[in-house]
Amino acid sequence: MEATVPSPVIAAKTRELCLVIAEQPEFAGIRTRIEQFSGDTEARMQFELVNRKGAMLEQKQQEGQELTPAEIGEFEQLREALLANDVARGFLEAREQMVALQEAIQQQIGKTFELGRAPTPEESAGQCGSGCGCH
């Protein structure tokens, strides 16, 4: 299937939407927390360690192996230490907010494709998750 190039009008409106998103104070806060995390070696290392350990435990479970209380305890300690780091916690919260915003926008676009027109506020009600800012 060949990718279609959006019409100039769609491209311009998409850019306009992107500019509006980027101008929102909430978005600036999200970007700031992500940049702080990117510049904090300790926070990044903690995050990577928790991710690696979590993936290892998940793989072990998928292979039908039981997790030991020591493994679970170690993971919980690593996770708690990560969440105690203000920069890492800010990054995780910012990432959740960014995903919620992306999902809310994608749901609106999906509803437009489904209906063949822009959804009314009533048709859109209750479609987005927490953190989208519409409630």
For residue 75, give both structure tokens.
């993971």
- Looking at the structure, give the CATH architecture of the domain made up of residues 8-124: Up-down Bundle (1.20)
Distance of CA 83 to the CA centre of its chain: 17
Q: How far apart are CA 126 and CA 135, in angstroms?
A: 9
* Crossing angle between the packed helical segments 25-38 and 41-62, to the nearest 10 degrees: 90
Domain extents in the chain: 8-124
Question: Do the beta carbons of residue 101 and residue 132 sit within 8 Å?
Answer: yes
Would the pTM of this model clear 0.85, i.e. be above it? Answer: no
Low-confidence ranges of the chain (pLDDT < 50): 129-135
Note the pLDDT of residue 127.
52
Number of CB atoms found within 10 A of residue 91's CB: 23
For residue 80, give both structure tokens.
């708690």
Q: How far apart are CA 115 and CA 98, in angstroms?
A: 26
Note the pLDDT of residue 6.
79
